Amino acid sequence: MKKTAFLFLILALQAKIYAQGTLSGDLQTNINFFQKDTAIKASDNPLYDNYLSGSETWLSLRYNVKGWTFTLRADAFNNSNLYNPAQALTAYGIGAYSITKDMDDLTVTVGYIYDQVGSGVLFRAYEDRGLLIDNALVGLELKYKLGKNVLLKAFTGQQKFILEKYKPIIRGFNAEGDYSLGAAHLIPGVGVLNRTLDKDNMDQVAATINGYELKDRFLPRYNMYAFTAYNTLTYKNLSWYVEGAYKTHEAIVNSENKLVDENGNVEFTTLNYAKKGFALNLSAKRTDNFQMRVTPNTQPRPIDGNMNWQPVVARLRPQRLMARYTPASQDLSELAFTLDGLYSPNDVTSYSFTYTNISTLDNTPLYREGLADVYYQGIKSWRFQLGVQYMEYNQRVYQVKQLDKPIVYAITPYTEITYRLTDTKSLRLELQYQKTQQDFGSWAYALLEYNFVPNFSISISDMYNIDPNYSAVSKANHYYSVYGAFTKGPHRLSLAYVKQVAGINCTGGVCRYEPAFSGIRSTFTTNF
């Protein structure tokens, strides 16, 4: 890795010597200080008992010159809790690099590649620092423009894992068109993916299968093939995306954490209609054993080793209490449906609603939501939002909790009020109440925020377990937060004192369970 980075720098410097290019980059640093709080169970791990602080840093550089693009990123983790919130990760190295050459209709990239096929159902290599997901493909990608309307793409390599790589080989092909037919616009595409296991991973799979009873054993395969076809149609006020994918038989991990030999498929669609004052969206997805992992062997985290990204049908709510019960996409068995509507009779009032129903293919309830809210800005300097959500959430599936009664039933009324003091200064108030008898019990939440655009913002909030479920918690607790951020040009610094309840943290439909947090969080970002 060090030799590769050194070669990269030599090539970039030579390019700079012989031609004038452009250099840009960005820096992000997170620093955490851990303050033990046994009342909320932010304790009993090395971070709170011994290390007391941790950090993560990413420094990225990008150099462009005469059709060449060089990228380099250094990653540093010092007692970081980002990968596993209960353990410390310490590592440093070259997190990503790439060299890209544009040659008329052909683009060649070697190194760490971030890309996807269609919506990502078949393949997606992406980075999400919030959960420390970095599924870059380390290898080669070719893109070729076939005329004005078709883009061909082929890639091969290995998936990144922190600062290492998984051993299996991934290969793929994607063809995508772009056509206008009168008032209609079409973007059709097809994709193919092949994943080949290495001998070490195959030996582990075989050893696991040989430990089963004879009736449960099967012959594992080195190669898995997957196919997808998709299309986006836009016609006047209508937009429709549809995708269907299939994968061949391979060893996958079922809901009982056991290897089984299954093929899989997924169908996904979203239909949008919008005109002045009215919008309607329908999304649906059916998933059956479409588990796309770089290896079926056990990984440190359930979200590690995914080669694809399953689209999220449920709406991701920004409100603090509703966000506690965000449903993650299921790759084994899911039947999901969401209907959204928006009606704006005038420029100051709008009404919206959402209905979502998610179950397994055998009709086991997973998630249900009904939400309605109204937005009003008819009073000078004031903006009001008022709404209510009804929600059902299966903790046994989404949080892997073995409960006799796994469904959380909750009703959450909420409001947000913004008062504009001047053109650059405003106050914002959030109030939420979540009524439930399950999980930790009922919650009340309040946040007050002051914004001075574009430089400064500060907020204070409290999340209080107002009516606890004493079978899950010993007493009612306050979870305070004080937050401040300062921005000047490309530089931004934020500092927060946080007490965070244990629960699910989701980003883009990818979720993980995180224990309680107590302490200080700081982030600095800049671009140059």
Q: What is the pLDDT of residue 11?
A: 55
Comparing CA positions, the residue from 518, 437, 514, 500 lying closest to residue 472 is 437
Q: What is the pLDDT of residue 24?
A: 95
**Which of 311, 513, 294 lies closest to 401 in space, CA to CA?**
513
pLDDT at 463: 96
pLDDT in tens, 46-91: 999 999 999 999 999 999 999 999 999 999 999 999 998 889 999 9
Let me know how long the chain is.
528
Q: What are phi and psi of 414, to 5 degrees?
A: -150, 155
pLDDT at 235: 97
Predicted confidence (pLDDT) per residue in 395-443, tens digit:
999 988 888 889 999 999 999 999 999 999 999 999 999 999 999 999 9
Q: Is 525 exposed, middle or buried (0-12, 13-18, 19+ CB in 10 A)?
A: middle
Q: Which two tokens stand for residue 329?
A: 């996409």
Q: Measured between alpha carbons, how far is 309 from 118 in angstroms, rounded to an integer? A: 10
Question: Which residue type does 239 have?
Answer: S
How many other β-carbons are positioned within 10 Å of the β-carbon of residue 268?
23
What residue has token string 């609603």? 353
Given the DSSP bridges, would you call strands 510-514 and 503-507 parallel, antiparallel or unpaired?
Answer: antiparallel
How confident is the model over 360-386, as pLDDT tens digits?
Answer: 999 999 999 999 999 999 999 999 999
Within the chain, which residues score under 70 in pLDDT? 1-19, 507-509
The tokens for 243 are 């995708």
pTM beyond 0.85: the answer is yes
pLDDT on residue 317: 92
Where are the extended beta strands (E) located within 289-424? 333-343, 349-359, 365-376, 382-394, 407-420
Residues 6 or more apart whose Cβ sits within 8 Å of residue 459: 447, 448, 449, 450, 481, 482, 483, 484
Q: Of 457, 469, 464, 519, nearest to 494 (Cα)?
A: 457
- CA 94 remoteness from chain centre: 23
Walk me through the domains of the chain, giving residue ranges and CATH numbers.
104-311 (2.40.230)
DSSP string, 328-339: PP-SSEEEEEEE
User: Contact 107/140 with Cβ under 8 angstroms?
Assistant: no
Sign for the CA dihedral angle at 98, 175, 124, 115 comes to positive
What value does the CA radius of gyration of the chain take, rounded to a whole number of Å?
Answer: 25
Residue 471 has a pLDDT of 87
Structure tokens at 275: 């005109």
Residues 6+ apart with CB under 8 A from 379: none
The b/e string for 467-503 (b: 16+ C-beta within 10 A; e otherwise) is bbeeeebeeebebebebebebeeeebebbebbbbbbb
Residue 507 has a pLDDT of 66
